[in-house]
Structure 1
Amino acid sequence: MRSLEILVEIPHNRKTDGIGLPERESGGRIEMREDRSGVLARGIRLLHGIGVLAAILCSSGCHATTDRASGRFAEAGEIDMSVAASSLPPQAIEEEIVPDEAQMRPPERIAEEVDAQESAAEGEEEEEEAGTQGDTGASHLDQASEFYQAALAFWQEGNIEDALEALDSAHEQIVAFDPGADPRLLQRKHDLRYLISKQVVEIYASQENAAVDGGIAVVKNEHVQRAIARFQNAERDFFLESYRRSGRYRPMIVEELRKAGLPEQLSWLPLIESGFKVTAYSRARALGLWQFIPSTGTRFGLMRNRWIDERMDPVKSTRAAIGYLTYLHSLFGDWSTALAAYNSGEGTVLRRIADQEIDYLDSFWDFYDRLPRETAEYVPRFLAVLLIVEDPAAYGFALPEPLAPLPFETIEVSQPVALRDLEQQAGLAPGTLAELNPELRLRATPPISYSLRVPPGRGADLLAWVNALPRYTLPDRSYLVHRVRRGETLSVIAKRYGISIRSLTRYNRLRNPNHLRTGQKLRIPKKGSRLPPAPTYTTVTHTVRRGDSLWRLARRYHTTIEQIKRENHLRSNRLVVGQKLEVRAATSVSRRIYLVKRGDTLSGIARKHGIALDTLLRLNGLSPSDPIYPNQRLRLP
């Protein structure tokens, strides 16, 4: 049987409308081998309204495949290809076809018919194009949706190859569709692009093993270099102190990571998350070693109630973090992207990916500059930590000796008991049990069976003291909590609870009683409860120094910017070094002020200054479960 080699040249920058091939940056060539009679005989039947190129491609029986060298597509320039055949390498596709003998004619005659009918076919295409263009465009989205649904079905069956083929076809239809100026069609096209790209990422990520033998790839680019420089200078003390604290918990974290099959490098993540502080609390309400916000903590099994917040438990929060990191790595397929999602949430990262002109990305650095600033700096900071701890001397560090892990044993406590009382009776140093059990919010065991960590060898006598001590009772809050609703004013709320506006303003320390936010929480004092002491005022003369601003002065003297401007007849916020300002500063019956530091607790502050906890709470209008923040000012008696 004679064989005919057919070379199909795809010209540079030319769109071949017959099969919807888009423009390419450079010409390509497709080669096919087949029996001459079979090719031409089957091709004649396809010439009318299709085009000679489509006829030859279809008669060869070849099917479109895409280059999956990176994600789904080879390069960004090739992603918007309608038919993947244009990305085929210049190689021969061989298929032996037995022609129908009844249809065989001399090749010369068939060639003449091909030449004669080619121009007629092109004319028919031009006439039909105007009438069919609208229908074809309208069907592109429907076909893309059908291919996407088929891909989901294949994926559920475990048929990965067919699922990817269907997603390829769906993407081709999306690229070919022009929504024009219709915003609904434009939104639908965008939504489908997002779903397709997300499904492709998920399929490829599922084929990755969460336990990466090679660990996390550490790069040293300009972003990482800047993070190293910050640790070497402005954040040097933070780095060294965090490294010293890491010894308390990192051996346990490494052991848990090994059990889960995750890279041990992740054991350094708490250094940039919390500085290895189990009670670290952020403005975003993230808490603990791994900085879980309440919703994510609940999602991964961390209990939170009035007695317990397991986000502060080092072991439980570590296991929850491992679960979250494993999920993120299975979703995105690489650790850098997974860590970015750990910081900002997977939704943020998925939206940034969807906003790309190209939905299929090769690495985290492809969309680094589109991430929020904190998230964009998060991954370089983590990589900088890995580089420094791997070779501290190379970066000018002499690392301190890490603290030793806290040894403990556990006892089962079935009744509420104050840890302070238990420490006093057992002769333990103040704070010993609180340090071993940081998840206990009230520094007391809950009224259910609870595994209390105690120093080794002290379990039996501590359990005996538990049974001898009186039951701990929750302090009765001296206030109710009211959540502000839309349209409510302070006068309406005060009237509802039978309290004066002045008392309500003072109890909640409102600087502007006329400005309430929907959802804001207000404390409503109960009948007979003691209000915080009313502040007194004194006028001081402040000499403006370099770096001063009205905002800073207002915070320092517990007043407002408007008050300072009004008392000094200022028309603008501009200050001059050496300028004298008369400031009516707020003081109170309490002359001592304590500035809260990182890691402080209310009970720890009370012990440090030798005062009762309830006195500190009452003086500042707080309850035992209220959080405190770094740089917060607390009144002391």
Structure 2
Amino acid sequence: MRSVRVVRSLRLAPLAAAFGLLAACAGTGGSKPPATVAALYIRLDQATQGYQAALQQIRAGNDAAGQQTLGQALDTLKSASVQCGSTAGCDPQRFFSAYDRMLRLKDGSFIGDESPDDEPQTGMALDQRGAAALPEAQRSVTLLHGQKLSELIAMNGAVKAALQMWLTQWRPNLIDAWINYQYLRSEMWPQYKNADLPEALLFGIMAKESGGKVHAVSRSGAAGPLQFMYATGMRFGLTNYNGFDLRFDPAASARANAEYMNEQLKVFNDNLELTLAAYNGGEGRMKRLVGPDTSVSFYDPRIYGQLSQETRDYVPSVLAAAWLFLHPDSYNLRFPKIDGVPGSITLKRAASLDELTVCLGSAGGMEEGWFRTLRNLNPRLDPQQEQPAGAVLQVPKLLEHSYASRCVDGPWPILAADLHNAAAPVVAAPPPPPPSPAKIRRYKVRHGDTLVGIVRQLRCSSVQELAEMNHLRHHHISVGQELKVPECR
């Protein structure tokens, strides 16, 4: 596996040779593949030729034509790989390898002015050339300290397994995280951008940590959209401000997370996997495990074997979510279109966030309702506490008109207020039942018995209680006498 610390300088000649191998005959030992398989490999060859043509166009400065050629090559590869999966004798790994390379080119990877005879360049030199070739919007999404994020994500088995989870069992969580993030983006993304960190990484961390629920609190006490522990949050300025825990503030949390990531990237020499492991499992523990060799892989048994299962799962899950942020269409994933432009409303009548949620209903096509978004954008407010008329609340801009038409006059604010003010009847707790009288049994005194011995034997009373119950004077008993003894409960 490649070290995530080093961005390799990939040259055109070895790249062409690699694709030539991918398109070679499928048979082992020189045997000729079946006609159906050979036809699929021809389409793979066509796709790889399209990749090389796109690479040449982009290197020549014709980005638009290069992206169009690349898109056609990806479409050819997708349809052929689907048929390969159901065709006997076809090797899907050939298609996966080509697919991975094409996605990385789409990200701006493998772009440079190297010649086959060039010596391998340093990561920074390659990064500067690659960054210059990318549009501004793409640089902001894909670069980590000038390095291409997709080059830092090794498409190994752990990341592929996490991709499958995000696309299957975790898919609803991923979509919810995307929706929540789009409304929080104007607060969180500038903090990451100012720190020279890619947006895809911010999304990956948030998707795994809280799913974009600003008020999330874990069992271990981590809090906020990026799940800071109390002590770590304090170290990065997430203190209590006028009674409000700043870990729940999206902008402050994103700023603190960016500062933490940059701090640990410096400690681990831009090894992203180790930095993410430190964020989840503690930087002190990771420093002790890694020692001075920050080029060591996160998956090295000396590191991986000493980590908790949570951290082993966490790192590839974050990277997989970031990868899907960059390439949703390439994994048959379609994120909903969200108008997350920020706005605000000034309350015309007193209302709580709960009441606003009721009167807004499914405005703007939000079938799940607006409670989560209103909570996320107004983290300092108790959702059940009425805010006075004149209070300014943060909302998506698209809700400004909906508020004016639905929540100022008419039946909906009246209904919302009625539901808000309703209270379940308070039922007084019934008085505890009186203690049941102790049951009595009989004990016949035998030769050698004493009152103390009887109490010790029965273990259910005391000498004083037994004497009072039987009206004994001076604790005197006689053989054959029947004593009343309380029965054990």
Q: What TM-score bracket applies, with the shorter chain setting the length? A: 0.3 to 0.5
Q: Considering Cα pairs closer than 8 Å and 6+ residues apart, tell me whether 1 or 2 has the greater RCO.
A: 2
TM-score under structure 1 length normalisation: 0.34
TM-score under structure 2 length normalisation: 0.43
